[in-house]
């Protein structure tokens, strides 16, 4: 297929999909909705409708999609990298950028510190945490790296634990800890498909097999295939054995509806620019009140009483405007409803994954039960697990079918294609992927 014909077909396809997404909106209603799509207050969520029922209402989600500027020419199912800002968030970000660029250091020296605290407290409230338990960072990677590198309670010969489904950079950091702190690394392998009980049993077995285990990395939602772990139960089993837990929530907040207290962990790292929809470059670090002793302040910082979460990071000069826009992102996220977003993303996943599981040439990865599955998912051609195999598959999906995805590597079972729709993706766009999967046979 030539590049010209490919581009033409994609443009035609996207026009058809866009028309299908708003088929249930009258012309006058559509014009009005577009004109109002710059303020969260204009999004009216139906009352008395369960999240599961609302998830299937294409008319409602077509209205949600009007709050986003969508690119034409490709069905983008790779939103796990970072999330698109809604129009209200983008407008606030541009206004904040203009203000900061005008006021410069006069604003930064006199007012920014309080605005930073206010934004952090907004995140804490949305997470169900207390003021002072959350500090903003540049991303979840910075948050998790600081927690792991600054952990100070090792004794020689103790053990650290991680799994193959953890974020690659964090697995490398755990290996670095083992070398630099004279501790032993243990990696647990999670099956390509797993349920809550299987996952819990694997962790408990690892705990009992490693009596010197001191620190573990625990992922809430795997970045590779969206597998959801029973974090609270695993953390409870760990705490009973004196094992400390660092929880990676980089992909989970906004993808799933939860509060930090639901997870039963003392330390966690988050991204706000993925499923919450803030500008790129904002993450968060959570440290439960009273848990700071084992995590040293950032080198060069001091906290004699171990009470100041913000002393665990040192981000230096950051994007002021992005931080100032966090409250608007939280407001828009909450205007849709965290439970509604969770249900919609799970529904979109089910549309393609349910059909793909019936195809003998497709292997679907991730959760094998509802509790272990999320809106993120992954697949590969049966028996084709190498990086070369999956890279070729990604290119075919993009060039032949106009569907953009991403290759993920790091699983013990091999590489895969990750699929991550967002709330503005329509069922018609998901159908494009499903049709492509059938034609791959």
pLDDT per residue rounded down to tens, the chain (441 residues):
444 444 435 444 444 444 444 444 544 454 555 555 666 667 889 999 999 999 999 999 999 999 999 888 999 999 999 999 999 999 999 999 999 999 999 999 999 999 999 999 999 999 999 999 999 999 999 999 999 999 999 999 999 999 999 999 999 999 999 999 999 999 999 999 999 999 999 999 999 999 999 999 999 999 999 999 999 999 999 999 999 999 999 999 999 999 999 999 999 999 999 999 999 999 999 999 999 999 999 999 999 999 999 999 999 999 999 999 999 999 999 999 999 999 999 999 999 999 999 999 999 999 999 999 999 999 999 999 999 999 999 999 999 999 999 999 999 999 999 999 999 999 999 999 999 999 999
Alpha helices in 128-278 (DSSP H): 140-149, 168-180, 196-209, 231-240
Q: Report whether 168 contacts 174 (CB < 8 A).
A: no
Q: Kindly give the pairing relationship between strand 406-408 and strand 416-419.
A: antiparallel
Give the per-residue pLDDT at 70. Answer: 86
Nearest to 123 by CA among 403, 380, 326: 326
Angle CA 349–325–275, to nearest 5: 10
Q: How far is 205 from 223, CA to CA, in rounded Å?
A: 24
Query: Rounded distance, CA 57 to CA 45, Å?
Result: 11
Q: How many CB atoms lie within 10 A of CB 326?
A: 27
Phi, psi of 229 (to 5 degrees): -95, 150
Report how far residue 413's alpha carbon sits from residue 189's, in angstroms, rounded to the nearest whole number.
Answer: 9
| 21, 59 Cβ separation under 8 angstroms | no
Q: What is the pLDDT of residue 40?
A: 60
The pLDDT score that the predictor gives to residue 32 is 53
Tokens of 389: 């195999």
pLDDT value at position 34? Answer: 58
Residue bearing tokens 């169900």: 128
φ, ψ for residue 360 (rounded to 5)?
-65, -20
> Residue 110's pLDDT is what?
96
163: left (phi over 0), alpha (psi -120 to 50) or beta: beta
Q: Which residues contact 260 (CB under 8 A, 6 or more apart)?
A: 127, 128, 129, 268, 286
Q: Can you read off the two tokens belonging to residue 205?
A: 């077995």
The region that residue 383 occupies, defined by phi over 0 for left and psi between -120 and 50 for alpha, beta otherwise, is: left
CA angle (431, 436, 439) in 5-degree steps: 130
Rg (CA), the chain: 22
Cα torsion 210, 214, 219, 222 to 10°: value is -40
Asked whether 81 and 267 are in contact (CB, 8 A), the reply is no
For the chain, the first-to-last Cα distance in angstroms comes to 19
């Amino acid at each position: 297929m030539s590049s010209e014909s490919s581009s033409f077909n994609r443009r035609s396809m996207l026009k058809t999909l866009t028309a299908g997404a708003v088929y249930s909106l009258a012309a006058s209603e559509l014009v009005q909705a577009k004109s109002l799509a710059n303020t969260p207050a204009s999004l009216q969520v139906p009352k008395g409708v369960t999240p599961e029922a609302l998830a299937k209402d294409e008319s409602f989600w077509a209205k949600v999609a009007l709050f986003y500027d969508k690119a034409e020419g490709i069905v983008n199912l790779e939103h796990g990298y970072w999330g698109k800002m809604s129009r209200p968030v983008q407008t606030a970000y541009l206004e904040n950028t203009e203000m900061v660029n005008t006021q410069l250091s006069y604003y930064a020296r006199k007012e920014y510190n309080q605005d930073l605290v206010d934004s952090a407290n907004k995140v804490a409230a949305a997470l169900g945490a207390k003021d002072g338990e959350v500090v903003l960072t540049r991303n979840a990677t910075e948050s998790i790296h600081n927690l792991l590198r600054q952990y100070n309670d090792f004794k020689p010969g103790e053990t650290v634990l991680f799994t193959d489904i953890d974020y690659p950079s964090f697995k490398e950091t755990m290996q670095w800890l083992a070398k630099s702190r004279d501790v032993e690394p243990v990696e647990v392998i999670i099956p390509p498909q797993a349920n809550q009980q299987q996952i819990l049993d694997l962790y408990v077995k690892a705990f009992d097999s490693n009596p010197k285990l001191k620190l573990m990395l625990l992922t809430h939602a795997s970045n590779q295939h969206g597998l959801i772990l029973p974090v609270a139960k695993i953390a409870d089993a760990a705490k009973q054995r004196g094992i400390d837990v660092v929880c990676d929530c980089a992909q989970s907040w906004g993808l799933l509806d939860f509060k930090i207290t639901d997870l039963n962990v003392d330390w966690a790292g988050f991204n706000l620019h993925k499923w919450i929809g803030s500008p790129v470059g904002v993450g968060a670090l959570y440290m439960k009140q009273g848990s700071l002793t084992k995590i040293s302040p950032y080198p060069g910082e001091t906290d004699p009483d171990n009470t100041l979460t913000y002393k665990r990071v040192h981000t230096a000069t950051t994007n002021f405007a992005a931080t100032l826009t966090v409250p608007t992102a939280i407001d828009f996220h909450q205007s849709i409803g965290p439970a509604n977003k969770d249900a919609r993303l799970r529904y979109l996943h089910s549309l393609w994954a349910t059909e793909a599981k019936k195809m003998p040439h497709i292997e679907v990865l991730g959760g094998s039960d509802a509790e272990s599955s999320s809106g993120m998912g992954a697949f590969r051609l049966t028996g084709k697990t190498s990086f070369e195999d999956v890279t070729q598959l990604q290119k075919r999906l993009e060039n032949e079918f106009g569907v953009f995805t991403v290759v993920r590597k790091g699983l013990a079972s091999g590489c895969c294609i990750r699929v991550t729709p967002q709330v503005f993706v329509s069922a018609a766009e998901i159908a494009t992927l499903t049709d492509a999967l059938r034609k791959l046979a």
